[in-house]
């Protein structure tokens, strides 16, 4: 079973492309006969992890991909690292703005994604039947807001559990200069399939110098 999540709008916006992309990717995967569920998470520090827990409990997925909007970015970012730290620059949708707090007290400083990020990078840079090539990158910081909190909570619950791949992808706004909904949904569906297939990780540089 594949679980895809996106976030509700936040920061005064009326739309968040992350859930639209999750829903469209779920349609694509469902159309291929796979068991899949798309869910929208609240952009609220106090409730998002519990909503995630309920989804994990109810669906027992083998692949979980959470999506969130990274408004300043121009390409999709496959997040590598979730940190046990919250430092909110703006208030969440409940008006809460926690600063310098752990996501989970006493838990490890960080977790890595268990999605096959390099295999995804390599695959998505090439066109495939039914989809064009898309420029994506590996990101080494998911920020310190609700997306990182969610990503950290997801990895805290799933790391070391056999048979589950989980991780986070940040998406840009959709406009004329960025990839569109369908293109990004196809990319997310492709990453889910690679995770389901336990794709091996190629040795491929995607790092940055700073
Ligand atoms: N993006 C925010 C929170 C919800 C979302 O879609 C973030 O990157 O933390």
Nearest residue to 5 via CA among 20, 112, 173: 20
Catalytic residue (choose from 4, 67, 147, 154): 147
Checking if the pLDDT of 178 tops 80, the result is: no
Lowest mean pLDDT across 1-15, 45-59, 136-150, 172-186: 172-186
DSSP letter for 48, please.
H
The mean pLDDT value for 74-79 works out to: 96
**How far is residue 189's CA from residue 116's CA, in Å, rounded to a whole number?**
13
Burial of 198 (0-12, 13-18, 19+ CB in 10 A): exposed
Residue 45 falls within a domain, yes or no?
yes
Residue nearest to atom 9 of ligand 1 (CA): 147
Residue 204 falls within a domain, yes or no?
no
User: Is the minimum distance from the CB of 5 to ligand 1 under 6 angstroms?
Assistant: no
Residue 209 falls within a domain, yes or no?
no
Residue 208 falls within a domain, yes or no?
no
Nearest residue to 121 via CA among 132, 137, 133: 137
Confidence (pLDDT) at 176: 67
The mean pLDDT value for 73-85 works out to: 97
User: Is the minimum distance from the CB of 69 to ligand 1 under 6 angstroms?
Assistant: yes
Strands 110-112 and 36-41: unpaired
Residue 202 falls within a domain, yes or no?
no
DSSP letter for 203, please.
-
Residue 61 falls within a domain, yes or no?
yes
Cβ contact 66:5 at 8 Å:
yes
Average pLDDT, the chain: 96
Q: How many domains does the chain have?
A: 1
Cβ contact 141:38 at 8 Å:
no
Q: How far, in Å, is the centroid of ligand 1 from the Cα of 69?
A: 5
- Within 10 angstroms of residue 174's Cβ, the number of other Cβ atoms is 18
The residues, ordered by sequence, that sit 6+ positions from 204 with a Cβ below 8 Å of its Cβ are 118, 121, 122
Range of the domain at 27: 2-196
Assess whether 43 carries a catalytic annotation: no
Q: On the CB side of 116, how many CA atoms lie within 13 Å of its CA?
A: 20
Residue 166 falls within a domain, yes or no?
yes
The mean pLDDT value for 9-16 works out to: 95
Nearest residue to 62 via CA among 162, 154, 169, 186: 162
Checking if the pLDDT of 16 tops 90, the result is: yes
Residue 7 falls within a domain, yes or no?
yes
CATH of the domain at 113: 3.40.630.20
The percent of residues in the chain predicted with pLDDT above 90, rounded, is 96
């Amino acid at each position: 079973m594949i679980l895809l999540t996106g976030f509700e709008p936040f920061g005064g916006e009326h739309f968040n492309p992350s859930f639209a992309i999750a829903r469209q990717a779920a349609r694509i995967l469902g159309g291929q006969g796979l068991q899949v569920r798309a869910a929208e998470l609240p952009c609220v520090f106090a409730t998002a992890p519990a909503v995630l827990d309920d989804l994990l409990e109810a669906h027992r997925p083998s692949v979980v991909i959470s999506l969130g909007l990274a408004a300043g970015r121009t390409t999709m970012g496959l997040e590598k690292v979730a940190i046990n730290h919250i430092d909110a620059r703006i208030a969440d949708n409940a008006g809460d703005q926690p600063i310098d707090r752990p996501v989970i007290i006493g838990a490890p400083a960080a977790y890595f994604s268990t999605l096959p990020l390099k295999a995804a990078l390599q695959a998505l840079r090439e066109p495939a039947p039914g989809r064009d090539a898309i420029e994506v990158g590996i990101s080494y910081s998911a920020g310190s807001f609700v997306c990182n909190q969610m990503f950290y909570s997801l990895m805290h619950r799933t790391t070391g559990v056999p048979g589950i791949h989980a991780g986070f992808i940040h998406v840009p706004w959709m406009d004329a200069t960025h990839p569109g909904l369908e293109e990004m949904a196809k990319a997310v569906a492709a990453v889910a399939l690679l995770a389901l297939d336990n794709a091996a990780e190629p040795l491929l540089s995607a790092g940055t110098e700073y």
